[in-house]
Structure 1
Amino acid sequence: MNILIFGATGMVGQGVLRECLLAPDVERVVAVGRNATGQQHPKLQDVVVKDMYDYSAIEPQLQGFDACFFCLGVSSVGMKEDDYRRVTYDLTMAAATVLARLNPGMTFTYVTGAGTDSSERGGSMWAQVKGATENALRRLPFKAAYMFRPGVIQPLHGARSKTPLYHGIYVVIAPLLSLAYRLWPDKVTTTEQIGLAMLAVARSGAPKVVLDPADINALR
């Protein structure tokens, strides 16, 4: 398989990239982002894009892919709705619309969040925006589109948040997360498992389009 990853430098994206590079059936991985991953691997190519809303200059580099794992995302804390919508809905759809045109046989997997509101009418601003993004992605002419809604995520194998505060919290609660993953697999997953699950849906699909932590943890 040939795989595109958006957000490979974030915590989830780091875990997904690791599993892609380890997978024997993945021949090529292209990481698209504002910054290079900093990793060297025979399978890996970085494509640095300064304007994540405009892919016209690199369209030839975005063709010929079997799957896209879209791991970009920001916290809505302290953000106004218009700003959050631009860096969530607008940014995601800018990439996905181009990819659907260039790769109609592609499986697109989007990392959203537990509590996302598919009705787009709930009380939480971020949940409405995420729900609108999910719904728009499902309308695009991909071979398939899956929405991953992880709850609590345990970072493994060196994956770390780029936000210093969040990274510090993860370090402190790491032993608790490990225990929680074993006790409550319906609420907690890991960066490793998210990567494995994304590869699983790229290979053979999944019974559901919207996947919660229990669904994610069941895929291999």
Structure 2
Amino acid sequence: MIERLIEASIRNRFLVLILAVALSIGGVYAVFDTPIDAIPDLSENQVIVFTDWMGRSPREVEDQVTYPLSRKLQGLAGVKAVRSSSEFNFSMITIIFHDNIDFYFARQRVTEKLGQAGAYLPSGVVPYLAPDATALGQIFWYTVEVDPRGREEKLREEHTSSNFPLPRFGGEGQGEGAISFMCLPSAVPAWVGGAAWGEGASHAPSSGHAPCRRPSAGRAR
């Protein structure tokens, strides 16, 4: 097969040359005429419908909202597939259309169908369309941003918290105390008696019973 193709090309050189020139011109024209997207949309032609029903379980949402609404949306012209998901308090239905259906025409048909949903959905449940964006555009709904000073402030907080004293059990304590109104016995050393009476050790009684007097408050460690 390849040998016959080469033989035919050699016999018809002029025809092969014309075809090569035509292909070259067509390639140059395609380069300048083909639209180029910075981020090409490779997603399907789809429309998303959300429905909120607060305080309901996924089973209730599936039976009374998702299933009947999906059945109605399957009857639209140009529908390729219908996918649904039921969660707590809300329902999400994705209607996928064929590629030849215009995106805004599909949204219009879905909107018209949702206008009739009040006849078969529970009272107060109103379905609505997702934002006018493709599946690729939904990636930019949420962004993750980092504060350049966040790490520095975190380290500063950790350093500050590490400087705070922590309470410990045991150790040394300091308090205020007072001597009771009683006479010191003679066996008490002189320096103890002087300290208890607020006087010097030389004035404390060294023998016998000390006279009863009101002592001054002292500080004990």
Report the TM range for the smaller structure's normalisation.
under 0.3
Which TM-score applies when normalising by structure 2? 0.22
Larger Rg: 2
Which TM-score applies when normalising by structure 1? 0.22
